[in-house]
Structure formats: C-alpha cells, structure tokens
C-alpha cells in the first residue's frame, strides 16, 4: 500500500516535469498567455471606445471598422499565409533563395493590393452614397483616416506573419497585438477622462499611427534575422507557383474575414448603427474563444508546416495532442464563464449592453464549438488543401448572408445570432472532416479524449533544422 502511494505521486511529478521542460508545451503556453493579454487589451480598447464615443458613434465605428478589416484582407492578397507556408517549405527543402524571394514577393503584392483597394475605396466614397452619409458620416477626413488604417492594418498583417515565420511569435504577434492597441487605449482613456466625445475619424487615425510603427520595426527586425539566417543569397522568384497558391489562400482569408466581420456591416445596413454596435459587442466577447485558440493557431502556423513538410510525424502528433488538450480546457472553462457571468461581461461596455445576453450566449456556443476544432483551418491552408477550405468558408458565408436577409427583418439581431451560431457549428464539423480525410491528422479536441488514427503525410522532402517555438 505504501509502495503504491509512493509510486503514484512519483509518476505525476515525472509527467509534470516532462511537461515543464517540453519545448512545444512551453511555446504553446507562452503564446496562450500572449493571446490572453491581447484579449484583455482588445476588450479594454473597445470598451473605452463604446464609453467615449456614445452608442450611435460607436455603432458607426463598428460598421466602418468591420468593413475596413475585410478590405485589409482583400488588399493582403493572401500573402500573409503564403509567406508562412513558403518560408517553412523552402527552408525544409534547402532552397533559401526561393524563401527570400517569397518574402519580397509578398511585400510587393501586398503594397500593390493596398494601393488598388484604397483607390477603390476612394472612388466609392466619392460617390457620396446614402450609406456613407447616414451610417458612417461624410467628410474627407474620415475617408483619409479609413484609408490610412486600411493600409496600416494590411501591411501590419503581412509583416507580423513574416516576423512570426522568420523571427519569433513574441516579436510578431506580441508587438502587433499590443503596440497599436496600447496607443489607442491611452488616447481613449485620456479622452474619457477629460470628457471628450471621440469620433470614428480620431480612433482610426490613432490606429493607423500605431500600425505604422509596428510595420517599420518589424521590417527592420526581419531584415536583420534573414541576413543572419540565410546570408547574402540572391532572391529567386516562382510567381507561376505562388500566384495560384496565393489566390486560393486569398479567397480563404477573405471568406474567413467576411464570416467574422460582415455580420456587423449587414446588421447596420438592415437595421441601424445602434443595433450594429450591440451585435459588435456581443460578437467581440464571443470571439474571446477565437482569441484564445488563435494562440494555438499562431503556434501551429510557426511549428506545424516545418514538421509536416519534414515528415516528422511523431513530433507533429505530440504537438497536436498538447494543442488539443489546451483547446478543450479553453472551451469548457469559457462556456461555463459565459453561462454564469455573461451579463456582467457585457456590462463592461455599458449597462445597456447587458440586455443582449442571449445574443452573446448563442454566439459563444458557436465560437466555442468552432474553437473545439483546434488548428484545423490553418492546417488545411498550410498543407496544400486551401482550395477545400475556400469551399467550406464560401458556403458558410453564403448561408450567413442569405439567412440574415431572411431572418433579420422578422427577428432582429436575435435571429442573426441563431443563424450565425448554426452556420459556425456546421462549418466546424466540415472543416474537421476534411482535415482528417485530406491530411490524415485530426487537430480537434477529439484526439484528446480518444486516440487519433493519424497517418504520415505522403511527402518526401529534405530534412532541415526547425525554427524555435518562441
């Protein structure tokens, strides 16, 4: 009896020690902490904006911010995911010249995309349509601020992905998530303290300044790291392969962003800015699951491609097991917190938002079950199956848009939440199914509760040292 009592704690301590020293576990935990802190500062930002701007102006900001977020993805042209995949794949193949070319190709395409999308935005804005005057507000200054934020957000999106692949998650996502938001939080806090009613133009201008600083510093750090890691090689380009791959990743990113941001835009168009602002608040809180699991996806986009293309199946399975366990903890704890204290979470943005508890709960269930899918979306896009993921997210977007136009006129934003939650669950199930059938891997929380029949990827490449997790 004594021997059994002594052995059990010993085994537990051995497992704890193994977990503490495990590089993957340390990397995932560090990234999770980063994303948790990011969620706090993000909620602080939007809460301060809701208080400092007022319900109507915050609703207008929500509509324009959602639209510009989608346009930023459009301008990026799929290069943010393309560069993560190409950098890992070419280094694993021992072709650093193509890896460098992929980074520079991404910059050129992203900058061209920014110029084209900003031009299109200015043309539409100059038409002086009823939507801009009634829902967003007129004036050239708001257009200039919108284009500045659009450009900054697009280029920061690309620079952070390059930095994640080349340098570290901390310098990439940590710098991106905190710097521009911290500047905005300071501005909004001071405005609220002095009683200044902020405008959408002011908020977007502060966003743009912070994002410009992020881009400049990340460019410098990446340039130093690339020179140190691969030396002074001459860049090689393969646009014939990169272009169709970029298009597929681009479509997937657009559909994914539209699924996240288009709802607020449609509610503003079908109802009013105040309703759009309320839905924006509920959706942002529900997306806390997404913010938490994005830490896992962030780790996955840096770690998974190298393991997958180098066919290090045992290490890949081990990383997926750890990610699945953490995903399950996030989903269980998160849904329990929403059920128990959802109305108090909503009151962070103002007492009036507590009335939208059921919208928040429905969206949280949808995003929670989506989070249970783990890194399946990133896994599909980074392993050559982005075309199938495009089909899934496009179908999801079509169902949401059609459902919104049918349901919202009769049931308001509660009906919108039902449509959105249902589509999210269906999308998660399809994504998991195709991830298992096409890659042989199951990144969802199911692998944590039952043994996953993983199969080695059918690919032969030259082995190469993998980047560190942090």
Ranges of beta strands (E only) in 214-265 are none
The residues, any chain, with a CB within 8 Å of residue 343's CB and separated by 6 or more, are: 354, 357
No. of helices (H) and no. of strands (E), the chain: 18, 0
The answer to whether the predicted template modeling score (pTM) of the entire model surpasses 0.75 is no
Mean pLDDT by 10 residues, the chain (470 residues): 45 46 57 69 86 87 90 90 82 85 93 96 82 66 93 94 85 85 93 91 95 95 88 87 85 79 83 84 78 62 64 72 74 83 84 85 86 76 76 87 91 90 88 81 73 56 38
User: Of all helices (H) and strands (E), which one includes residue 263?
Assistant: helix 239-270
In Å, the largest CA–CA distance within the chain is 83
Q: How wide is the angle at C-alpha 241 spanned by C-alphas 237 and 247, nearest 5°?
A: 115
Give the tokens for residue 262: 């288009």
Rounded Cα gap, residues 137 and 368, in angstroms: 35
Look at the block and give the residue holding tokens 């939208």: 356
Rounded Cα gap, residues 155 and 163, in angstroms: 12
Rounded Cα gap, residues 349 and 321, in angstroms: 36
Give the tokens for residue 216: 């400049």
Following DSSP, what letter does each residue of 212-223 receive, concatenated? HHHHHHHHHHHH
Give the tokens for residue 173: 């996502």
Given this model, what pLDDT does residue 24 score? 55
Rounded Cα gap, residues 250 and 83, in angstroms: 12
């Amino acid at each position: 009896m004594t021997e059994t009592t002594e052995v059990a704690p010993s085994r537990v301590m051995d497992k704890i020690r193994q977990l503490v020293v495990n590089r993957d576990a340390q990397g995932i935990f560090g990234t999770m902490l980063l994303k948790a802190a990011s969620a706090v500062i993000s909620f602080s930002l939007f809460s301060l904006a809701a208080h400092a701007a007022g319900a109507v102006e915050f609703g207008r900001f929500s509509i324009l911010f959602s639209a510009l977020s989608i346009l930023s993805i459009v301008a990026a042209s799929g290069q943010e995911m393309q560069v993560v995949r190409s950098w890992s794949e070419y280094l694993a193949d021992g072709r650093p010249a193509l890896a460098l070319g992929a980074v520079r190709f991404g910059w050129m395409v992203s900058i061209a995309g920014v110029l084209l999308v900003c031009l299109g935005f200015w043309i539409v804005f100059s038409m002086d349509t009823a939507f801009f005057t009634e829902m967003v507000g007129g004036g050239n200054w708001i257009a200039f601020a919108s284009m500045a934020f659009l450009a900054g957000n697009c280029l920061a999106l690309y620079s952070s992905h390059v930095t994640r692949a080349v340098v570290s998650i901390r310098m990439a996502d940590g710098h991106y998530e905190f710097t521009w938001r911290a500047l905005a939080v300071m501005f909004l806090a001071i405005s609220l303290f002095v009683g200044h009613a902020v405008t959408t133009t002011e908020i977007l201008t502060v966003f743009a300044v912070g994002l410009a600083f992020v881009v400049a510093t990340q460019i410098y750090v990446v340039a130093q790291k690339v020179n140190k890691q691969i030396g002074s090689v001459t860049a090689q380009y393969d646009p014939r392969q990169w272009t169709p791959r970029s298009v597929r990743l681009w479509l997937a990113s657009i559909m994914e962003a539209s699924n996240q941001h288009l709802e607020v835009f449609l509610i503003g168009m079908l109802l009013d800015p105040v309703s759009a602002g309320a839905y924006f608040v509920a959706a942002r809180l529900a997306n806390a699951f997404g913010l938490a699991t994005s830490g896992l996806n962030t780790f996955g986009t840096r770690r998974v491609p190298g393991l997958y293309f180098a066919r290090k199946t045992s290490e890949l399975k081990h990383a997926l097991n750890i990610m699945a366990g953490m995903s399950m903890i996030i989903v269980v704890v998160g849904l329990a917190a929403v059920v128990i204290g959802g109305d108090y979470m909503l009151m962070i943005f103002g007492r009036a938002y507590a009335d939208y508890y059921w919208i928040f709960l429905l969206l949280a269930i949808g995003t929670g079950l989506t989070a249970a899918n783990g890194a399946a979306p990133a896994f599909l896009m980074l392993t050559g199956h982005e075309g199938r993921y495009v089909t899934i997210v496009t179908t999801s977007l079509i169902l949401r848009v059609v459902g919104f136009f049918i349901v919202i006129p009769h049931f308001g934003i509660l009906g919108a939440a039902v449509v959105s939650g249902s589509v999210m669950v269906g999308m998660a199930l399809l994504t998991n199914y195709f991830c298992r059938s096409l890659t042989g891997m199951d990144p969802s929380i199911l692998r944590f509760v039952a043994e996953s029949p993983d199969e080695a990827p059918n690919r032969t490449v030259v082995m190469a040292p993998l980047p560190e997790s942090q």
